[in-house]
Amino acid sequence: MTLPAAQVMDGTPETPREPLMKCWSGPHVGEEGLEVAIRVEVHVLDLTAEEDAALLKALDLEGSPPAGGWIRLAGPMGGGRRIKGVWDSETDYERFRDDRLVPALRGLGHALHVIELRPATETTRILDVT
């Protein structure tokens, strides 16, 4: 199933793409042994919305998606931005953090402050969006 084209903020149509659909329950065996999906929440002090947009451009998440990354949510939080994500494993997150995220933040003059990193062990069902 392909989602219909959506209007993006500049008014141009977005390319239709396959929906992300994945369900799992509890731990699974990955390349590096037993793994469990995780939820990560970080705070980047003094990061503005404009700098977050520059960060997204530098990370190129759509053009070069990180292995194991599923979703990124971001918004303002007293004195900066709060960013949340869901990852297949802690190993996938740490690889992305060390290889891409921290260097991109350094390039913008910011540091990463991890608030929470917790296992996501409950069964997840993702509904179709039409």
Q: Domains along the chain?
A: 28-119 (3.30.70.100)
- DSSP string spanning 4-17? PP-B-TTSPBPPP-
Residue 51 has pLDDT above 60, yes or no: yes
pLDDT digits (tens, 9 = 90+) for 53-82: 999 999 999 999 999 999 999 999 988 999
pLDDT at 8: 36
Residue 14 has pLDDT above 50, yes or no: no
**Averaged pLDDT for residues 107-111:** 91
Least confident of 13-17, 42-46, 68-72, 77-81: 13-17
Closest CA to 74 of 94, 90, 59, 91: 59
